[in-house]
Amino acid sequence: MDTIHVDICVIGAGSGGLSVAAGASQMGAKVALIEKGEMGGDCLNAGCVPSKALLAAAHVAHTCRESAQFGIQGTEPLVDWSTVNRHVQQVIASIAPNDSQERFEGLGVTVIRAAASFIDSDTVRAGDQLIRAKYFVLATGSSPFVPPIEGLNEVPYLTNENLFSNREAVKHLIVIGGGPIGIEMAQAHRRLGAKVTVMEMARLLMKDDPELTKIVIQRLQQEGVEFHEGGRDLRLEKTADGRIAAYCNTDGGAQCVIGSHLLIATGRRANVSGLNLETAGIRYSPHGVDVDARLRTSNKKVFAIGDVAGPYQFTHMAAYQAGIVIRNMLFKLPAKVDYSAVPWVTFTDPELAHVGLSEADAVKTGIAIRVLRWSFAENDRAQAERRSEGMIKVITTPKGVILGAGIAGLHAGELIQPWILAISQKMKIGAMASMIAPYPTLAEANKRIAGRFYTDKLFSSATRRVVSLLLKI
């Protein structure tokens, strides 16, 4: 069995692993990259990329229906599911070369396409090769978590791993799970002509501010998506005609939904099995690998990033963590993660974006806060686009330090970015209020809500008295 000696061995060719491999190799390190599945991992092949491609197709279909409000005669679109799937696959194919084995071998990375497992604290077996390294990086990602639902083994079901291979028309999609994946795919399929029912055992989009999620859920309800929250005793069975029946109890009574397709979107579980982590002295649980603030595992030669390390399962967090471990491994800097300004976006229409503390989280800290709100209805560009539903919500201290921001509205994922910078740099609200925002843009709302922090004092009776006195001079 051949033995390869490298500086860094990366296990997993998803977003985080590829970032480490590319960066370290181009900085002069000798790197091996091990991947047992598809290059690009979940994000490229079964996650971010295909889901956004499907949402883009759904947006075009919805635009056809809604064009009458602009004086353009709209029609119900004819959706060819096979061609929609071809569009999704073409988008994946257009991005795939950036993540390909050929590209990384061109960067000098040794790419090994096999399953990896540790045989001791500093050696991994992959296929018929042994890899010894100074450092290892676990970037094995996560997989769909499928809970034990009564009757699930009796019915066919989809997860994100096979959803984007579907080429047949979906008549009625039942979605189990009301998190970001479930809600995004619910809207996408509804706009593509399917009837959609979402069943959630707790609260829809429960990690986001309820005041903002209400805006998104109301929009989906207007488009025809049905929701059942707080479900209990979920049970599935196959009907006599081959469809899927889902039963549950809610506060509003017993529910029975019969659909053509079933999507399980109940979260994700870290990929830790088969790696023989115990042999390498690496502590882990079903939730992932234990890491410290420098992303080191209990074996200090081994780092972990991305979904397998948590605590946030986002592609952009894997890329951020990749930078942290590169600084630790290559430059011997004690770089630590800082999660005070972690953003996330749910790509519904309207989008839902968040960074920093929510109002509820801020209240739990016990510190004094101010809550600012600004409606999209007060933004001229939103009115011109006929998309005035939505709101920006910002949390600050009484002295104006920005603690968090949330946005529900058109292009919320773009509008949240100045708030990410502001929180990461510990800026005060005055910086946002004093910027010059081009008119008419949606981003002008960021400046307007910042200005609201000063409204009470600026237009107070005390200010009027001061102005009156100054004008007499």
Looking at residues 408-427, what average pLDDT do you find?
Answer: 97
Instruction: Examine residue 251 and state whether it is found in any structural domain, yes or no.
Output: yes
Give the domain-ending residue among 267, 293, 317: 267
Tell whether 300 and 359 lie within a shared domain.
Answer: no
Quick one: 201 and 223 in the same domain?
A: yes
pLDDT at position 473: 85
- Do 133 and 213 have their domain in common? no
> Mind listing the pLDDT tens digit for each residue in 204-248?
999 999 999 999 999 999 999 999 999 899 999 999 999 999 999
Residue matched to tokens 């291979």: 165
Per-residue pLDDT tens over the stretch 250-285: 888 899 999 999 999 999 999 999 999 999 999 999
**Are both 246 and 281 inside the same structural domain?**
no
Q: For residues 314 and 443, state if they share a domain.
A: no
Strands 172-176 and 261-264: parallel
CA angle 190, 445, 191 (to 5 degrees): 5
What pLDDT band is residue 462 in, cutting at 50, 70 and 90? confident
Helices 180-191 and 210-222: angle between axes, nearest 10 degrees: 20
User: For residue 281, what are the contacts with CB-CB under 8 A and spacing of at least 6?
Assistant: 121, 298, 299
Q: What is the pLDDT of residues 201-215, one digit of tens each?
A: 999 999 999 999 999
Q: Is the CB of residue 329 less than 8 Å from the CB of residue 299? A: no
Residue 461 confidence class, pLDDT cut points 50, 70, 90? confident
Do 257 and 300 lie in one domain? The reply is no
pLDDT above 90: residue 460: no
> Nearest Cα to 253, choosing from 235, 229, 237, 236?
229
Q: Which residues make beta-bridge pairs with 409?
A: 351
- CATH number, position 229: 3.50.50.60
- Token reading at 409: 């509205």
Residue 79 resides in a domain: no
Does residue 434 have a pLDDT over 90? Answer: yes
236 lies in the same domain as 291: no
CATH number of the domain that residue 443 is part of: 3.30.390.30
Residue 75 lies in a domain: no
Helices (H), ranges, 135-248: 160-163, 180-191, 210-222
Tens of pLDDT, residue by residue over 154-211, are: 999 999 999 999 999 999 999 999 999 999 999 999 999 999 999 999 999 999 999 9
- Measure the CA–CA gap between 246 and 281, rounded to whole angstroms: 44
Claim to verify: residue 220 and residue 250 sit in the same structural domain = yes
Regarding whether 393 and 305 lie in a shared domain, the answer is no
Q: Of 71, 51, 75, which Cα lies nearest the Cα of 61?
A: 75
For 391, the domain range is: 343-458
- The verdict on 136 and 273 lying in the same domain is yes
Supply the pLDDT for residue 14. Answer: 97
My answer on whether 280 and 135 are in the same domain is yes
Per-residue pLDDT at 457: 80
Could you tell me if residue 8 is inside a domain? yes
Together in a domain, 134 and 188: no
Residue 57 within any structural domain of the chain: no
Q: Is 287 left (phi over 0), alpha (psi -120 to 50) or beta?
A: alpha
Q: What's the total number of domains in the chain?
A: 3
Of 216, 249, 267, the residue at which a domain comes to its end is 267
pLDDT tens per residue across span 86-143: 999 999 999 999 999 999 999 999 999 999 999 999 999 999 999 999 999 999 999 9
pTM for this prediction = 0.95
- Is residue 337 over pLDDT 90? yes
